[in-house]
Amino acid sequence: MKTKNTGNIFDLKFIMAKILVINASPRGHRSHSRALTGLFIKTWQTRYPDDSFTNREVGQTPVPHITENWIAAAFKDKATLNPEDEKVLKLSNELVNELKNADLFVIGTPMYNWGIPSGLKAYIDQIMRINETWKFRSGEPDGDYVGLLENKKLYILSSRGDSGYNKGETNEYMNFQTTYLKTVFNIMGVSDVEIISLDNEEYGGERFAKSQREINQRILQIR
């Protein structure tokens, strides 16, 4: 695979890329965010047929919430982990390795109560691993985070009932969906983030149809 990193911008001119697609909607064929990820995959495969996809389902196949034992194990030095710790962290390790092995992430998620679905939050809790996906620069809790996922790009494909959630718009202060996702992935080292949001779902009719046409066109133009 060939990649070119120009500062914080990930140049998507690579060969045999690995794409991780994360679907967070509990809904199936009625899910608008799934329709967006489906269109993304179809479009990308047409342009880059040699690239590979891994699908991670967190909406219809729930990811377990972290536990006290998980927290204790995750903050241990690797050399001190016992068999029980390894068992507790098994799924988390699998999810983290998926992130490390992928070049491009695609998250499809609805907005629920101005935030993300609980399944996606549980997933994020499993992958926000100290010394795996991020660390403290000094090695001690200092608030200075260093991301460990390098040369990655993230597409957030979101669906939302209303509109006006983008920067400078009326409902920006209520957007705990894409702003949260961008923040946590920035902390993990993913600074190249593109957000594509389908709005006005709750209104339906031409207002929603117009949003669908605009967003679908944006996805079709992704390269």
Q: What are the pLDDT digits (tens) for 23-58?
A: 999 999 999 999 999 999 999 999 999 999 999 999
Alpha-helical segments (H) within 165-222:
178-187, 205-220
pTM exceeding 0.95: no
Averaged pLDDT of the chain? 91
4-220, which class in CATH?
Answer: alpha beta
- Strands (E) across the chain are located at 4-6, 9-11, 18-23, 52-57, 104-110, 134-136, 145-147, 153-159, 192-198
Contact predicate 188/148, CB 8 Å: yes
3-class SS at 6? Answer: strand
Residues 6+ apart with CB under 8 A from 175: 111, 114, 165, 166
Reply yes or no on whether the pLDDT at 151 is more than 60: yes
Pick from 9, 187, 28, 194: nearest CA to 107: 194
- What are the residue boundaries of the structural domains of the chain, listed by start? 4-220
Q: Chain-centre distance of CA 11, in angstroms?
A: 18
- The residue with greater pLDDT, 139 or 126, is 126
**Over the Cα atoms of the chain, what is R_g?**
18
Residue 3's pLDDT band, with cuts at 50, 70 and 90, is very low
pLDDT, residue 119, reads: 97
d(CA 54, CA 90): 18
